[in-house]
Amino acid sequence: MKKYEILTNLIIAVIILNFSKIAFGFGNKLTHPALTNSITEGAVVDSYLKNQLGMSNGIQTQLKYQPDWYQMYIEYRLKRGDYSLGGNNRQVFEWMKAGSVIEDEDLEAWYFFPSIRPRHHFHDPINNVGLDNKYDHPNYSKLFAWATHFYPAEFDVTGQSAKTWAIKGYAQQGPTDNIQCWDDTRENFYSALTDPKSLWREYWLSATFLDLGSIMHLIEDMGVPAHTRNDFLFGHYQPPLGFGNDFENWVERIVGQNGGQCPWSGSGPVAFDKLTKYFDANAYAGDYLGDGILPPNIWGFLNAAIISFCP
């Protein structure tokens, strides 16, 4: 290959990769923090913290992380997400918003390359699979075979199911470990309740709320149709120059115009007895056309998403 061809390919790769920064899920700069804040500021969460955990200031309770390697790991991901509010001493709702930001960011990602973590933010509830580009569409990685020499993982558009990633925290594709998963969150919460030292109880509690924010991010992504039908390529790229998902971009724009706050309100919380049901309640019976009628609550997050995003 001639030198000018190599240079041209490299330039194209960088352009594509930078456009890819907006290609996954809701924006973690505005939309995810806004959605998480809208959920967190409700009276239910505040009341639970005050009445069940004895936190008199509720969601405004200040919690401090200990300055260890894990804090540096979190801060690096927050910096990539342009979220620096509070440092290692944040209020409860700020820790949850911080968690919703870092779920889109990798420690391993190169500075000017996008994170590949969002590959684990898809769940097809009909086929019970995560993002598998080869399942529905042509092999995306082969379309850019030349680019795999520069950054192979970026063009392997497959991933773990968001449900598995959120609850069990493992994946075959990198990143392979999610330390903000539900199982780890429960362990952190247990430590927050049982650690004999108050300083460490505060640490474990802040870690709990940070992890909850990350899990909320994954549930919020289920409100994007493209994330529930294995639709990366056609759901996020509209040729010749359109990039990103139209719905995601629209929500991000509206939130930005509203000062970074969610302008919609839902009809109240829908509670399930298992976290898995927010991703997939296994209740779909087929033959549903919609026709302007909302699906039943038992279907999981889809119903809540429609209510939340329709003014």
Give CA–CA dist 3/6, Å, rounded: 5
Predicted confidence at residue 100, as pLDDT, reads 92
Which one-letter amino acid corresponds to residue 256?
A: G
Using an 8 Å Cβ cutoff, are 157 and 119 in contact? Answer: yes
Output the CA–CA distances (angstroms, integers) from residue 10 to 4, 14, 131, in the order listed: 10, 6, 26
What pLDDT score was predicted for residue 163? 93
Give dist(CA 175, CA 88) in Å, integer: 24
Can you tell me the distance from the alpha carbon of 30 to that of 55, in angstroms, rounded to the nearest whole number?
Answer: 28
Count Cβ atoms below 10 Å from residue 216 Cβ, excluding itself.
22
Q: What is the pLDDT of residue 171?
A: 92
Short-list 97, 106, 95, 45, CA closest to 65: 95
Tell me if 55 sits within 8 A of 61, measured CB to CB.
Answer: yes
Range of the domain at 26: 3-309
Q: How far apart are CA 220 and CA 223, in angstroms?
A: 6
R_g over Cα of the chain: 20
pTM: 0.81
| pLDDT attached to residue 13 | 40
Residue 234 has a pLDDT of 62
3-state helix, strand, coil in the chain (%, to 5): 55, 5, 40
Cβ atoms of 197 and 206 within 8 Å: the answer is no
- What is the total count of domains within the chain? 1
Copy the structure tokens of residue 38: 């809208």
Tokens of 201: 């109880």
Q: Which class for 220: exposed (0-12), middle (13-18), buried (19 or more C-beta within 10 A)?
A: buried
The residue with tokens 């910096």 is 79
Q: Which residues of 98-137 are buried (b: 16+ CB within 10 A; e: fewer)?
A: bbbbbbbbbeebeeebbbbbbbbbbbbbeeebbbbbeebe
Task: State the 10-residue block means of pLDDT for the chain, 311 residues long.
Answer: 42 40 60 85 83 90 77 80 78 92 77 76 86 57 53 65 94 89 94 92 92 92 82 59 72 89 73 84 72 68 41 33
**Beta-sheet pairing, 237-238 with 62-64:** unpaired
Can you give the pLDDT at residue 15? 37
What span, in angstroms and rounded, lies between the C-alpha atoms of 75 and 36?
19
